[in-house]
Structure formats: structure tokens, C-alpha cells
Amino acid sequence: MDKRKAENQRVKAAITTTLFSLLEKKDLDDITITEIITKAHVARASFYRNYTSKSDVLTTLIRDVLQEFRETADYDLSEVYTLRHIKRAFSYFYQYRDIVLNFYRSGQAIMLLEELNQFHEEIAGSMPATSSTRYTLYIYTGALFNTALIWLQDENAVDLDTISKLFSDTWTP
């Protein structure tokens, strides 16, 4: 990786880490860009080269993780209701546990859920806006997200296989 790309990744990581750190103490609306760049030790231009707003930092992080999920899948992602997909989703929630819980604790979980809804709608394929298939998908995504939050907060009282199987056995589209 070239130096510029490595430096840009460092800058983005510093901004994201700093924003999450500030979110532990303040609401997103009360955090300023100046606070972020000062604590992250980055230039204002570096912030705006990568992001348009504080919310954009969070949305970009979610989309980057979902893009990784999409690119590394070795199965047809449109099969969202399969045990394989469910287990992989819980595995990702676990891998990014700190980020997911930070979204939740900072009151930004809805942003994460909205991106998950959009992601699942994209991979499931087109459907009419008022179709029962679309509603079923949103119910599924909400249930998956809520279950993952509880599972992560319980510090994984059950293992990945157990939570995945339990969800799969309970879920009937």
C-alpha cells in the first residue's frame, strides 16, 4: 500500500475512533467538527476530504463493513433467511461487537439499523414498496439486529452456533 493511502486510512481511523470516544460523553449534535479534528490530530481538510459530516463518518463505517460482508461472501447473498447467512451475520456482529455496541450506547443504533435494512433490501433484490415480501424482510432484519444487540450485551451467553441455530429455528418467513 502506498504512503498516501496508508496515511488516509490512519486519518479515517483516527476520526472514527475519536468520534466514538466523544459519543461516550456527548450526543452527536453536541459534538463539533473542531473537537473531532483536534482530538484526532488531523487537519480540517483531511476531515472534509473523507467526510461531509459527523453522521457521514458513522454511515461510511457501516457501509464499509457491509461492503466487506458483501465482497467476502462465498454464497448467494439473496438467500438471506438461510442458517448460513444468519450465522455469518451473527459472526460479523461479533467481529464488530465494539462498534455495534458503541452505536447502541450512543443512541445511534437507528442509523445502523437503517443501513442494515437498505443492505438486506439490496441483496434480496427488487420488490414492490408495499409488498409483504418487503415487510417480511424488514421484520427479519429488525429481529436479527435486536437479537444481535441482546446477544452482544450479554457478552455472548451462548455461542455463535447456538444463537444462529436458535434464530434460524425461530425465524419462519
Please give the pLDDT value at position 1: 61
| Residue 97: all three cell numbers together | 461487537
Are 41 and 89 members of one domain? Answer: no
Q: What confidence tens digit (pLDDT) does each residue in 91-112 have?
A: 999 999 988 998 898 888 999 9
Does one domain contain both 20 and 86?
Answer: no
Of 35, 51, 67, at which residue does a domain stop?
A: 51
In this structure, the answer to whether residues 45 and 57 fall within a common structural domain is no
CATH of the domain at 99: 1.10.357
H helical segments located in 96-159: 97-105, 109-124, 132-153
For all residues of the chain together, what is the average pLDDT? 90
- Looking at the structure of the chain, the number of domains it has is 2
Helix (H) or strand (E) holding 108, with range, is none
Do residues 47 and 82 make contact, with C-beta atoms less than 8 angstroms apart? Answer: no
Domain's final residue, options 27, 51, 75: 51
Query: What pLDDT is stored for residue 59 in this prediction?
Result: 93
Specify whether 35 is located in the same domain as 106.
no
Is 0.75 surpassed by the pTM of this model?
yes
Q: What is the pLDDT of residue 141?
A: 94
Q: What is the CATH number of the domain that holds 44?
A: 1.10.10.60
Which three three-digit cell numbers place residue 74? 462465498
45 lies in the same domain as 65? no
Model confidence over 120-157: pLDDT tens digits?
988 887 766 678 888 888 999 999 999 999 999 998 68
Same domain, 45 and 69: no
Cα 23 → chain centroid: 16
- Please state, in angstroms and rounded to a whole number, the distance separating the CA atoms of residues 102 and 96: 10
- Enclosing domain of residue 35: 1-51
Residues 22 and 95 in one domain: no
The pLDDT value given to residue 66:
93
